[in-house]
Structure 1
Amino acid sequence: MTEEQQNNERQFSVQRLYTKDVSFESPNAPEIFRGEWKPRHELRLNTTINPLDTDVYEVVLAVTVTVKVEDKTAFLVEVQQAGIFTAHGFAEEELGPLLGAYCPNLLFPYAREVVSDLVVKGSFPPLVLQHVNFDLLFAQHQRQAAEQAQSNSAQPIQH
C-alpha cells in the first residue's frame, strides 16, 4: 500500500474519554425526603464539538436531569462527559453524523453511570437513564437547521 493510499483511508479512534464537569444539587433537602415520592423527570441533552487540531475533535455531551416532586426540585444533576476523537479521511457529510451522533452514543453510557452514582449518593432512589437515539436527534437537528436556513433565505431584505 502506498503512502497516498494510507492517507486517503478513513481512520477513527478514541484518544481519551473523561468527565469534564459534574454538578449535583438537592436544594430542598432534607424536607424533600419527608413527603411522598412521586417524581417528575426532565432530561436535557446537548452536544458540543470543539476542533482541537487537524482531524482531532473534542466532543462534549452535556446531560442535565431535573427531578421535581410537585413544584419542588428534589435534585438537579449536570454532567459533561467528553472525549477526544481522531477522524481522518471522512467527507464533510460523514463527519457531521460521526461527531454529532456516533460520538455522543459512545459517551452516553459513561454520563449515565455518573448520573446514577450521584443520585444514589444523594440518598435518592436509583435513576437509570434510558437509551437515547442520537442518530434520530442528530437528524432532527439537521432538519431544523435546514428549515431555519431556508426560511431565513426566503425573508425579504428590508432597508
Structure 2
Amino acid sequence: MPMQATTTAPLFSAELRPNRSMSAGAMWILAGLTALLFAAPSLLFLSMGAFPVTVLMGLTGVAIVAGLYPGLRQGKRRERITVWSDQVEFQVTDSAGATTLRRFNPVMVRLVLTRDEHEKTTAIHLREGTDRLEVGSFLTSEDKSSFAKALGTALRQARN
C-alpha cells in the first residue's frame, strides 16, 4: 500500500532577522578597505621613522575590524515562528549558530504584549503556564505591533 503524503500549510509562518545586519561578504570588504586605508599612510610614516605612529595606526585598524565583528555575528541571529492548527513552533538561532526549538499548544499559549505610556508595543511574549518567552526583541516598535497583530490572529485561528 503506497504511503499517502499530506500537504498542510501552516496558518502562520514568519522568520524574524535583525535589521541592518552586515553580511559576511560586506564584512570582508569593509575589513579590506580599512586595512588598505590604514596601510598606505602607515608605510609613509614608517619610512619617515615615526614607528609609534605606525603602530598606533595599526592598532586603530585592528580595533575597527574587531568592533565590526559583533555586527557580523548578530546577522546569524534569527527567530522562526510557525503556527499550525495543533501546535506553535518557535525556533531560535542565536548569534553563535546554535538552534533551539520550542513547541507550544495553541490552546494553552497566550500572547502577552508590553506597552509603554504612548501605547507602543515594547515587547512580545508567548506565555504558557509559568514559562515566558520573548519574541522579536530586536524588532522596532512598529514592527512589533504589526507582527503581534498577525501572530494574534493566527493564534485565534489555531484555537478554533
TM value normalised by structure 1 = 0.23
Which is richer in helix? 2
Which is richer in strand? 1
TM value normalised by structure 2 = 0.23
